[in-house]
């Protein structure tokens, strides 16, 4: 029985070392990522976090070069489908803007050198006479 106990202990130490290595790798990856910096917002925190997470995921999927149109389209489509129309998104490293937005639907943030402006406007039905 002594040999089985030794083997069990050896395997336990091996698994523990794998878990520690994985945690260390995740911490390293997390610390390498640029932080999110909110520039202006009147959006609820839950929606902000959704935007941050989505933007990070899409940026991570872009190997190397930023595709600002693709990121803007992805964020716009996600917010349109989850929170209704009409969301607008502008992404870039250098742009100016002046927009009108619905209350609770404005977020301007930065991830590294990438700036994201995400805002919602009210949709009015057309009068058909």
Q: Which two tokens stand for residue 105?
A: 């639907």
The yes or no reply on domain 36-129 and CATH 3.30.740.10 is: yes
Handedness of CA 91, 77, 69, 60 (dihedral sign): positive
Contact assessment for residue 121 and residue 86, using Cβ atoms and an 8 Å cutoff: yes
Mean pLDDT per 10-residue segment, the chain (129 residues): 82 86 72 86 96 96 91 98 96 94 96 96 80
Predicted pLDDT at 28: 65
**Can you tell me which residue has the tokens 């050198």?**
113
Predicted pLDDT at 18: 86
Angle between helices 45-61 and 68-83 (to 10 degrees): 140
Query: What residue spans define the domains of the chain?
Result: 1-32, 36-129
Predicted pLDDT at 29: 59
Predicted pLDDT at 30: 59
């Amino acid at each position: 029985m002594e040999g089985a106990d030794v083997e069990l202990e050896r395997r336990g130490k091996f698994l523990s070392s794998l878990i520690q290595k994985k945690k260390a790798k995740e911490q390293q990856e997390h610390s390498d990522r640029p932080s999110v910096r909110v520039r202006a917002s009147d959006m609820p925190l839950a929606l902000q976090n959704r935007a941050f997470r989505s933007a990070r995921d899409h940026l991570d999927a872009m190997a190397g070069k930023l595709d600002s149109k693709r990121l803007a389209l992805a964020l716009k489509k996600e917010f349109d489908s989850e929170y209704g129309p009409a969301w607008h998104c502008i992404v870039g490293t250098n742009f100016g803007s002046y927009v009108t937005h619905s209350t609770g639907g404005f977020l301007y943030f930065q991830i590294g050198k990438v700036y994201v402006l995400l805002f919602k406007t009210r949709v009015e039905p057309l009068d058909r006479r």
